A and B are shown apart, each in its own frame.
Chain A
Amino acid sequence: MKNLIILLKIVKRLIILVVFSTLIIEVFASALTGRLLNSLMRVFSLHLVGGDTLGNLLMIVASILALVTLITPSYWLYVITSVATFLARTPDTIWLSLVILGLVSLLVIDTYSTCVSRKKNVKASVKGSRVYYLVIFTVFAVTVVLITHLITLYLNLFTSFMTSVPATSPVRAFSLFLSDNPIGRVLLILVAVSVFVKLSLNLIDAVTYFVIPSSTLAKSELSTSVKYDVEIKYPFYTLMSLIFTLYMAPPLYYLLNYLTVRVLPWSSSFLGDFMRSSPYTTYLPTLAEILFFLVLWGLLSYVTRFFRGHINNKLVAVFVFLVVLFLIVTQFSSLDMNEFLSVVYFKYYKDFLVVGELLLQITGFVP
């Protein structure tokens, strides 16, 4: 038993060594020539010379991570290393398959070794011939590799068309962000992967039932498949929060806007170089405004949830406090209440319409 576990550990490291062989060789080669120390110094001092691109830095980080992965065969480090390498250079299809197959085998070995070492604690097991396990494993591996290739093909198709968007179009900034910016690419890949992971899990579940049909398991699954995580809402909750938002959002927006206008000169001087160098400069105010509205609505939804959708003491107290505050402010300052309120509400709805139209333009719904 002990020999088996040690053998599995060696097999794990061998798989990692095969998958990341080029990266590990690169680490040793650069360490021998002394280039590694130089690169590391540059990474840690954040002093980026013109020749250094983000890809080169990512390659250095990935090759060091590959060495750490070899020492501690953790699959999280494995995933992080491969993602860093993919970001640094466009993935080669054969290597992509190799990485995925390696990950699948690592996970299988991990599960098997836990099962072997804690055989007494295993409560449920599916009986079947060894051939079935082989069939399921093959189907699993082929499905994962195939789905990954389909995702990359689809995303490549998408991004290749994105770069062909005409330069005058307002969609250009959005498509550039998704196709050229590493953050945008990571976001796109993360969304695609999180969608496809759930789908492939369901697919493998279905295939398993077709290979080993177990009626008792299927019956229990069918009878317990109703999920009880339905969120209970109070009656008229939506209407109440809508009315609340209609009244409360404009003053809050006005206040936040006033504060941001005061803070903005400082932040723009701080971010000045970055903003001038990026190609999205013309869209930054719009994006900031959209973010602003999102923050405001998130705050308001939190407030309405806090009051649990019905009138209680807290809500009345807060409302009375606000009214009293407002009366005091208007009494001691020479503000005309009607005029002030009309300005506040007008500004909110005007900005709201402008931002809505710009948002539709940027995402390409409206020409």
Chain B
Amino acid sequence: MGIKKWYVYMLFAVASFILSVIFMLWSVYYMSNAMVGTSFLTALAGFAFLASSIQALKITAYVYSVESGATTDERKES
């Protein structure tokens, strides 16, 4: 199997990023309908999804560098 582990984390990061964009657009829609409280709540949810997406991206980067670490270590020794 050619699937690498960091693809899974990347998928999670992309999914939560899309969710965060959807939530932020919803919050603007609620604001245009003068539902300020609901809008702020939705914006909060959007930011939470954005934060989780970037945290997942960070973990992806760690896993990616651990997986590709063998080649760089060899390069360092040679």
Beta-carbon contacts of A149-193 to B below 8 Å, as 1s and 0s? 000001001100110111001010011000000000000000000
The reply to whether B66 and A219 form a contact with Cβ atoms under 8 Å apart is yes
Please classify how large the interface on chain B is, using the bins under 10, 10 to 19, 20 to 34, 35 or more: 20 to 34
The reply to whether B32 and A164 form a contact with Cβ atoms under 8 Å apart is yes
Cβ of B65: which chain A residues have Cβ within 8 Å of it?
209-210, 213-215, 217-218
Q: Which of B24, B32, B57, B68 contacts A203 (CB 8 A)?
A: B57
Cβ of A121: which chain B residues have Cβ within 8 Å of it?
none
Beta-carbon contacts of A200-221 to B below 8 Å, as 1s and 0s? 0011011111100111111101
The reply to whether A214 and B64 form a contact with Cβ atoms under 8 Å apart is no
The reply to whether B57 and A206 form a contact with Cβ atoms under 8 Å apart is yes
Beta-carbon contacts of B31-65 to A below 8 Å, as 1s and 0s? 11011111110000001001100110111111111
Q: Shortest beta-carbon distance, B33 to chain A, in Å?
A: 9
Cβ of A217: which chain B residues have Cβ within 8 Å of it?
65
* Assembly CA distance A196 to B33 (angstroms): 26
Q: Shortest beta-carbon distance, B14 to chain A, in Å?
A: 13
The reply to whether B72 and A206 form a contact with Cβ atoms under 8 Å apart is no
The reply to whether A162 and B31 form a contact with Cβ atoms under 8 Å apart is yes
B61 to chain A: closest residue by CB: A209
* Assembly CA distance A58 to B55 (angstroms): 39
The reply to whether A161 and B31 form a contact with Cβ atoms under 8 Å apart is yes
A333-367 contacts to B (CB < 8 Å) = 360, 363-365
Given the known interface contacts A203-B54, A218-B69, A221-B62, the answer about A158 and B28 at a Cβ–Cβ threshold of 8 Å is yes
B1 at the interface (CB under 8 A from A): no
B73 at the interface (CB under 8 A from A): yes
Cβ of B69: which chain A residues have Cβ within 8 Å of it?
213-216, 218-219
Cβ of A205: which chain B residues have Cβ within 8 Å of it?
58, 61
B53 to chain A: closest residue by CB: A199
* Assembly CA distance A365 to B24 (angstroms): 18
B1-48 contacts to A (CB < 8 Å) = 24, 28, 31-32, 34-40, 47
Q: Which of B34, B40, B50, B72 contacts A215 (CB 8 A)?
A: B72
Q: Shortest beta-carbon distance, B74 to chain A, in Å?
A: 11
Given the known interface contacts A202-B55, A217-B65, the answer about A161 and B32 at a Cβ–Cβ threshold of 8 Å is yes
Given the known interface contacts A213-B69, A360-B37, A364-B38, the answer about A218 and B32 at a Cβ–Cβ threshold of 8 Å is no
Query: Which 5 residue pairs are nearest across A and B when measured between Cβ atoms?
Result: A215-B69, A213-B65, A209-B61, A364-B36, A365-B37
Q: Tell me the B residues contacting A by CB distance below 8 Å.
A: 24, 28, 31-32, 34-40, 47, 50-51, 54-55, 57-66, 68-70, 72-73
Given contacts A206-B60, A213-B65, 6 further A-B contacts (CB under 8 A): A195-B47, A199-B50, A202-B57, A219-B69, A363-B40, A364-B36
